[in-house]
Amino acid sequence: MKFLAIMRRDLRKLMRNPMTLITTVLMPIVYLVIIGNSFQGQLKHLPVVIVAQDHGLYARRMVEEMLALQAGPKTVDLTFMDDPGTAIQDARDGEYKGVIVIPPNFSHDVAEGRIGEIGMFTDNVDGVSATALEGAVTEAAGAIRISFVTAREPKLNEISLRPSWLYPYVDYDRSLIPGVIVMAMFMGSLMCGVFNWVMDKFMGVTECYLVTPLSRWDIAGGILASGVTITSTGGIIVLFMGLLITRGHIAGGPIALLTLIGIIVVGSAGLLAMTFALLGRAGHPRLVGAFSGFLNVILFFPSGAIYPVESFPPWLRSFARYNPETHAVSAIKQILFKGADFAAVGGDLAFLMGFMLLMLLLASVSFKRTL
């Protein structure tokens, strides 16, 4: 019966710390909800622009087929424009995943038995979305041949889709680099920041600070600055290692590199301050370890690093809009693969700066110069 005594003692100890049981039950459920809704198979709600320069029979039918994709499987969210140049520029700025251009003589060429060509420009940095859009538009174009029979029977190859990439080719491995950088930033914010602080507090090391004239602002500022330095350095190393492994390069040159470093530093500071604000008062490193997996799932998978944010359900899209990792991934993609300038990522940088300042304020307020 001695082992029962040990069992009762351990159970009582665990019951005094109910977070262990809560995280054991809660985390798998969160994994199911977040990951299950982040990878839904068929893509939906991909923003696409249609520039219809022809309003003939077959052009109208093409538009109707695309509207059917929007109303039925909800693959696309359509916007109509008149100027192809403006539409393509908006796609380059990240507002749309693709642009479909129906040329002026499309219907006439199809009716005459010639090859009718449809232009399509896709954001190939997001390879998953580009492939899905090309397949959907090809299917829509194929339905035109079946639905209409003219006096002059069209040839089997009368409609041709001419896909074009807006950016240089980005393979799948290279497209993961922004997500890997953000994951390194998050892991660094835990291991070099709050975990070290809680571990030092658990081991009694922080008691040394209490016998010094240092204020809580000195202590918090020094720990945060140290963590940002290590975390940012880790993110920059991951950037260069990722480019080396995938044989990639930075599209915008030295200016783009400096912008990327700035994004990594600001993002690292925000994540580090967030983990301090949430876990800085934890009394045991075990709690930090338990919540680190929880935070990693709810921040990383809805960030758009692997799966397009546009295809998330509405509630998850709303969460992603306020997820700092979403904006970090978006900004790094824009700079690294598209050669975008500072203005193109201004919205993402503004969010990251605001998030960093808010989290620094919360972290400093929650930090106490006590045991």
User: Three-class SS string for the chain?
Assistant: CHHHHHHHHHHHHHHCCCHHHHHHHHHHHHHHHHHHHHCCCCCCCEEEEEEECCCCHHHHHHHHHHHHHHHCCCCEEEEEECCHHHHHHHHHCCCCCEEEEECCCHHHHHHCCCCEEEEEEECCCCHHHHHHHHHHHHHHHHHHHHHCCCCCCCCCCCEEEEEEECCCCCCHHHHCHHHHHHHHHHHHHHHHHHHHHHHHHHHCCCHHHHCCCCCHHHHHHHHHHHHHHHHHHHHHHHHHHHHHHHCCCCCCHHHHHHHHHHHHHHHHHHHHHHHHHHHCCCCCHHHHHHHHHHHHHHHHHHHCCCCCHHHCCHHHHHHHHCCHHHHHHHHHHHHHHHCCCHHHHHHHHHHHHHHHHHHHHHHHHHCCCCC
User: Into how many domains does the chain fold?
Assistant: 2
**Residue 231 forms part of a structural domain:** yes
Per-residue model confidence as pLDDT tens digits over 34-85: 655 555 557 788 899 999 988 888 888 888 888 988 888 888 889 999 888 8
Per-residue model confidence as pLDDT tens digits over 171-210: 777 888 888 888 888 888 777 777 777 777 777 766 666 6
Half-sphere exposure of 158 (CA within 13 A, CB side): 23
Q: Looking at residues 341-362, what average pLDDT do you find? A: 85
Q: Which of 149, 165, 181 is at the close of a domain?
A: 165
> Looking at the structure, do residues 200 and 309 belong to the same domain, yes or no?
yes
| CATH number (domain holding residue 91) | 3.40.1710.10
Q: Which of 165, 182, 217 is at the close of a domain?
A: 165
**Residue 190 forms part of a structural domain:** yes
> Looking at the structure, do residues 212 and 351 belong to the same domain, yes or no?
yes
Question: How far apart, in whole angstroms, are the C-alpha atoms of residue 284 and residue 19?
Answer: 11
**Residue 21 forms part of a structural domain:** no
Per-residue model confidence as pLDDT tens digits over 260-297: 999 999 998 898 888 888 877 777 777 777 677 778 87
> Looking at the structure, do residues 211 and 242 belong to the same domain, yes or no?
yes
**Residue 183 forms part of a structural domain:** yes
Host domain of residue 69: 46-165
Q: Which of 104, 134, 165 is at the close of a domain?
A: 165
Per-residue model confidence as pLDDT tens digits over 294-335: 788 788 888 888 878 877 888 888 888 899 999 999 889 888
> Looking at the structure, do residues 230 and 160 belong to the same domain, yes or no?
no
> Looking at the structure, do residues 119 and 256 belong to the same domain, yes or no?
no
**Residue 234 forms part of a structural domain:** yes
> Looking at the structure, do residues 232 and 195 belong to the same domain, yes or no?
yes
> Looking at the structure, do residues 71 and 151 belong to the same domain, yes or no?
yes
More confident residue, 128 or 367: 128
Range in 2-11, 12-21, 52-61, 129-138 the model is least confident about: 12-21
